Structures are given as C-alpha cells and as structure tokens.
Amino acid sequence: MLKRTVYVKMLSIVVIALISVLTACGQAAKPSGGNPAGSPAASGASTATATPTTTAAPTAAADAKPKEKVTVNIGVQGKTGVLVYARDKGYFEKAFSAVGAEVKWNEFASGPPHFEAIASGRLDFGGTGGTPLISGQVGGVDFKGIAVTSDGKKGNMIVIPKNSPIKELKDLKGKKVAVAKGSSAYNFLYMAISKAGLKGEDVKVIQLQPDEARPALDSGAIDAWAIWEPYATTAVYQTGASVLVSGEALNINAPSFLIARTKFTQEHPDLTVLFLKTYNEATIYYNAHQDEIADELSKSQKLDKKIIVDVLKNTKPILSSITPEFAKAHQEQADFLLSVGAINKKLDTSQVLESKFIDQALKEASQK
C-alpha cells in the first residue's frame, strides 16, 4: 500500500468536498420530469361540450385530462462522441417522441458534475469515465452504471508542451500538472506516476477544467496536462504539444460507463431500455461512417479534419454489457484510490453496476 503523503491529503480533501456537495444535492433532490406546479388539474373540462341533461360529462372531462409527459434529461460533455453526435442528429428526440416522452439536454465540462445533477434529480442519463462513478458512490448518490462505452485505454493521456524538457514520466517530479479533479484523467494521472515510482508529493497538481488548462499549457503556466480526448489530440496538432504517455501505453484499463438515476430506471424501465437501444443505434452508425463523421465534426467544430480523424481513432466507442473483466477493472480503480487515501472506505463497486437493461437492449436490437 502506498504511503499517505501530501498528495494523499489533497486527494482526500477533494473527495470529501465532492461528497459534501453530492450529499447536499441529494437531500434537496426532487424527481425530474413532473408537471410544473400550478398546472391545470382539469384542462380537458374547459373544452367539454356536454349538455345539462347528460350524465357523461364528468367522465368525458376525466378522459380529456392530459397525461403527464415524461421528460428525459440526458447529460453530455465534450465536442465528440456518440452522445454528442446523437444529440446533433436528433436520435433520442425521435425515439422518445414516439412513446410520448421528450428530451432535455444538459451540458457538463467533465464527469463529476453529472453526479451532482443526478443527486438533485436533474439528470436521468449520461456518460462518464470510471473515476466519477467512484466519487458518486462514495458520496451516496443513487445511480447505476448501466453499460460500458469504452475500455479507457486510449482515452486518457498526459500531454506536454512543445519543446518541453520532459521526456519520461519520472521527469514530472517537481513539475506542475493540470487535471480536472475527480475526472477519469485524475485517477489516470496518479496511476501513471505510481508506475514511474513517483509519490504524489513529487508532482504539483493544479486543478483546472479543460477550457482553463489548455490556455495554461499554451502559455507555459503548467508543465503537463492530464486530459482525455479530443483535447489531447487537438493540443498536439494546434500547438506542437506531444503525448508523454497514454493509458494504452501503460496498459491501464479504465472503463467508461453510461450512467442512470436509479429512481428513473425503476419508474421507467422501458425508457431505460429505449435509451440504450437508441445509443446502440447511434454507435453502430458512428463507427461505420467515420469519414462522414469526421467531415461533419471538422466543419461544426472548425477543426482540421486530420485532428478529428485521430480523435476518432483514439475514442472508438463500444456498447457492452458490464462483463466480469470490466467490473474487475473498475473495482481495481476504486481499490487504488483507497490505497492512496483518496477515498475513505472500501467500496464494492458491483453494487452500482447493473447490466440487466443493456442485456435486454442488445437482445432486442439483435432480434430486429
């Protein structure tokens, strides 16, 4: 077990802070998708045409009362990926409107804010790396990881600026490294430096979200950046930065997940399956038409197509049941965070992983 060092204390403070926020959000949680307060209770009655002698008017008014429409809140982050593509193409709007539901999109800078939104009942589905799931479980957020979308080997990287003297991981000693705390890149950074024999106190961790870290990298305010795609490849192409190391190079298997608010899955299991079937449909098209996707993204994001092509290669999505291998890899991440004192209790991560919806979705998709 690694020694508790200064960086251990930093990690603990961050997790405790996140737990506090999540707990506060959970206490104030209200289910999403309900009718606004003050909605007319008998709007159908105002249009009823019953005569004074009929006895059917009350029944007709009751039948005319509109049923509550379910609003499905979906979280999305970044500029690429299946959820971004599906949002832009209206995949989920089409699927859910067919069953009388509507879709609302919510944008996030990284994974951890998804769980704050789930805790407060403002989010039903989303996709994040594995580390935010661990923080969410520690914080007592009532959610489920319902499918795997990536093995995580290629998605996370440590990027260094052009002409950096840093040549290998051990050279990070004493350097300033930016990372979004609680993100998948956060766990990746500490797993990476531990493989190089460095202690947490050897690295000066700077907490920055992606839109803050990139200018810091460009200006030389930081020495390295632990980040995920598409930010890593974009920095490489646009500024001459280079990738110091990736999860693939270190063989760090850190799966990403689709997540869901537990209460929503319990109240709407059919819509949960529909969400996954729709995601699967978008994934199949996304993977089969990479050149088309690259063209569209290069135009919409105003980026060189070569950048998009490389990003797509590094982030080719999957949609999988939570296999024993993926479950084991996720448990190992939680155990690592415990070993360095970043979380304060042993987790059984299987308690928040649930494959029944993805298994049903993939089964129904295969029967088409």
Statement to judge: residues 146 and 193 lie in one domain? no
Statement to judge: residues 293 and 347 lie in one domain? yes
Domain extent for 341: 69-152+254-366
| Averaged pLDDT for residues 52-75 | 56
Count of the separate structural domains present in the chain? 2
Q: Please report, for the domain that includes residue 144, its CATH number.
A: 3.40.190.10
Statement to judge: residues 259 and 350 lie in one domain? yes
Statement to judge: residues 159 and 239 lie in one domain? yes
Flag the least confident range among 117-126, 219-228, 242-251, 354-363. Answer: 242-251
Q: What is the pLDDT of residue 45?
A: 34
What percentage of the chain carries pLDDT values higher than 90?
62
Three-state DSSP at 207 gives strand
Statement to judge: residues 137 and 198 lie in one domain? no
Statement to judge: residues 131 and 279 lie in one domain? yes
Flag the least confident range among 43-47, 183-187, 291-295. Answer: 43-47
Gap between the Cα atoms of 133 and 114, Å rounded: 10
Residue 245 vs residue 43, higher pLDDT? 245
The upper half-sphere exposure of residue 182, i.e. CA atoms within 13 Å in the direction of its Cβ, equals: 26
Cβ neighbours of residue 86 closer than 8 Å, sequence gap 6 or more = 92, 278, 279, 282
Q: In the listed set 250, 267, 292, which residue is the last one of a domain according to the structure?
A: 250
Three-state DSSP at 256 gives strand
Q: In the listed set 202, 219, 250, which residue is the last one of a domain according to the structure?
A: 250
Q: In the listed set 229, 250, 271, which residue is the last one of a domain according to the structure?
A: 250
Flag the least confident range among 11-15, 121-125, 166-170, 298-302. Answer: 11-15
* Global pTM exceeds 0.95: no
Statement to judge: residues 259 and 148 lie in one domain? yes
Statement to judge: residues 145 and 122 lie in one domain? yes
Gap between the Cα atoms of 283 and 256, Å rounded: 15
Statement to judge: residues 148 and 259 lie in one domain? yes
